[in-house]
Amino acid sequence: MRITYPVEDYYTLLRRYRKITMKKIKYMSYITTFVWMMISFITLSSIYLSSIGWVINLTMSIIFALVSIYVFYKERNFILLISSINNNTYKTKAIIYELLSLTIILLVGLVALSGVYHRVFNEQFSVFG
């Protein structure tokens, strides 16, 4: 006996998968924004440990905060863009690409956060300087 699935079930599963993936993108965006903001705050607060390189620490803290703001607005605009696209093929490809790029940005942020955390809290030095 051969089992056949109606076409409606396939599209229902695809929509459900897309909703789950969009939620993943949304929450990963929040986590990535939080990680980069933490890097920015720790870099800024490391000026207290050593005031020799306060200019570079302040500059890099601003750059890290701008990366965080960029990621947040990029993902917000991506979610708005995806909701306006009607073609399923392009929508799925864009979601996969965005999930991959957001994962890479998050991993780079976690590596940088671990380095900044080690520099400030274990070595008791400012991040830059």
Structurally, the chain folds into a number of domains equal to 1
Domain assignment present for 12 = yes
pTM assigned to the model = 0.82
Range of the domain at 118: 7-122
Convert the pLDDT of each residue in 23-46 to its tens digit. 888 899 999 999 999 999 999 999
Domain assignment present for 2 = no
What's the confidence (pLDDT) of residue 121?
A: 92
Q: 104-117: buried (b, 16+ CB within 10 Å) or exposed (e) per residue?
A: ebbeebeebbeebe
Convert the pLDDT of each residue in 43-98 to its tens digit. 999 998 888 888 999 999 999 999 999 999 999 999 888 888 777 777 878 888 88
Chain position carrying tokens 């520099």: 119
Domain assignment present for 61 = yes
Domain assignment present for 82 = yes
Domain assignment present for 129 = no
Q: Which residues lie closer than 8 Å to 99 by C-beta, 6 or more apart? A: 21, 24, 25, 28
Domain assignment present for 89 = yes
3-class secondary structure per residue, 17-44: HHHHHHHHHHHHHHHHHHHHHHHHHHHH
